[in-house]
């Protein structure tokens, strides 16, 4: 298992609380809608898209507004159920779901116009598999934040760097472009106590006092009655738009 996969599994452990926090953040902000617009600008009109490693599926929902069809795939049944509930709630007919491991799922009968891998997987390991799913575009989106945001430690992020991904693509003669993206996606919070629980989900090493100090320095007031506190987070991303042919 790669260092990147280990990192992602740790950060995207879907518990009841982490799903609740993510839903609140996603529904209070336009992060996924803005990211979807950027992705769709690189694709043909009304594309068919596979959202691989979709998690709770808010990017799939945002992409669905201008896509012919979306297949959303994730290994986590609980996360997929959140997406299924939202598909029913929004009466969407162009989004389907699949629970499974990308490395084990058979290639689709009809290739997608694009496969989107947003904060999912190690491209250096999954490239050949991804090529089976599309003959048009692979959209690989990775974090370029050098340090973790929701932690009181100064712990650096792990996994491949943007330069390592570009080097891999160049060495294997793929045509690609890279776009830098910066979008706000912080966490609305009901109280300081909830803030401590939230940070603790990502940071098991720091003491409560260290977490309180972090919250004191980072939290800002919100105009929301329901969520009077907000922990800012500017997500820094690199989006690789890759031609899977050689």
Here the CATH number for the domain that contains residue 142 is: 3.40.50.150
The pLDDT assigned to 24 comes to: 98
Any idea what DSSP says for residue 107? P
Total domains in the chain come to 1
Helix, coil or strand: residue 187: strand
Tell me, yes or no, if the pTM score tops 0.85. Answer: yes
The pLDDT assigned to 202 comes to: 87
Q: How confident is the model at residue 246 (pLDDT cuts 50, 70, 90)?
A: low
Residues 185, 235 contacting (CB under 8 angstroms): yes
Task: Write the DSSP string, 113-158.
Answer: EEEEEES-S-HHHHHHHHHTTEEEEEEEEEE--SB-SS-SS-PBP-
Handedness of CA 232, 227, 212, 157 (dihedral sign): negative
| Mean pLDDT score across all residues of the chain | 91
Handedness of CA 196, 9, 139, 176 (dihedral sign): positive
pLDDT digits (tens, 9 = 90+) for 161-215: 999 999 999 999 999 999 999 999 999 999 999 999 999 998 888 888 999 999 9
Q: Is the pLDDT of residue 78 over 70?
A: yes
Helix, coil or strand: residue 61: helix
Residues 102, 126 contacting (CB under 8 angstroms): yes
**What percentage of the chain exceeds 90 in pLDDT?**
80
Instruction: Give the range of the structural domain holding residue 81, as residue numbers without chain letter.
Output: 3-243
The pLDDT assigned to 157 comes to: 59
Rounded mean pLDDT of 222-239?
95
Tell me the C-alpha to C-alpha distance, in Å, between residue 215 and each of 32, 36, 76.
25, 30, 31
Tell me the C-alpha to C-alpha distance, in Å, between residue 3 and each of 74, 96, 121, 172, 239.
19, 30, 10, 21, 20
The pLDDT assigned to 2 comes to: 44
Q: Is the pLDDT of residue 42 over 80?
A: yes
Q: How confident is the model at residue 103 (pLDDT cuts 50, 70, 90)?
A: confident
The pLDDT assigned to 205 comes to: 86
Q: Where are the alpha helices (DSSP H) in the chain?
A: 3-11, 16-28, 31-40, 58-63, 77-89, 123-131, 162-171, 192-202, 208-218
**What percentage of the chain exceeds 70 in pLDDT?**
91
Rounded mean pLDDT of 51-77?
97
Q: How confident is the model at residue 155 (pLDDT cuts 50, 70, 90)?
A: low
Q: Is the pLDDT of residue 58 over 60?
A: yes
């Amino acid at each position: 298992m790669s260092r990147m996969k280990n990192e992602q599994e740790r950060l995207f452990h879907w518990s009841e609380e982490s799903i609740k926090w993510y839903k609140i953040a996603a529904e209070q902000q336009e992060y996924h809608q803005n990211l979807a617009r950027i992705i769709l600008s690189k694709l043909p009109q009304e594309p068919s898209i596979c959202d691989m490693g979709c998690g709770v599926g808010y990017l799939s929902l945002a992409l669905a507004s201008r896509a012919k069809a979306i297949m959303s795939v994730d290994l986590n049944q609980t996360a997929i159920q959140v997406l299924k509930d939202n598909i029913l709630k929004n009466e969407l007919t162009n989004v389907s779901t699949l629970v499974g491991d990308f490395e084990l799922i058979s290639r689709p009968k009809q290739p997608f116009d694009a496969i989107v891998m947003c904060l999912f997987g190690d491209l250096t390991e999954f490239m050949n598999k991804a090529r089976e799913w599309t003959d048009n575009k692979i959209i690989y989106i990775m974090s370029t934040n050098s340090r973790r945001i929701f932690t009181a430690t100064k712990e650096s992020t792990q996994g491949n760097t943007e330069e390592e991904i570009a080097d891999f693509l160049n060495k294997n003669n793929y045509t690609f472009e890279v776009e830098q993206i910066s979008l706000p996606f912080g966490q609305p919070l009901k109280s300081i106590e909830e803030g401590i629980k939230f940070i603790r989900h990502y940071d098991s090493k720091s003491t409560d006092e260290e977490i309180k100090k972090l919250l004191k320095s980072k939290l800002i007031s919100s105009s929301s009655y329901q969520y009077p506190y907000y922990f800012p987070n500017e997500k820094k991303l690199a989006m690789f738009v890759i031609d899977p042919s050689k």
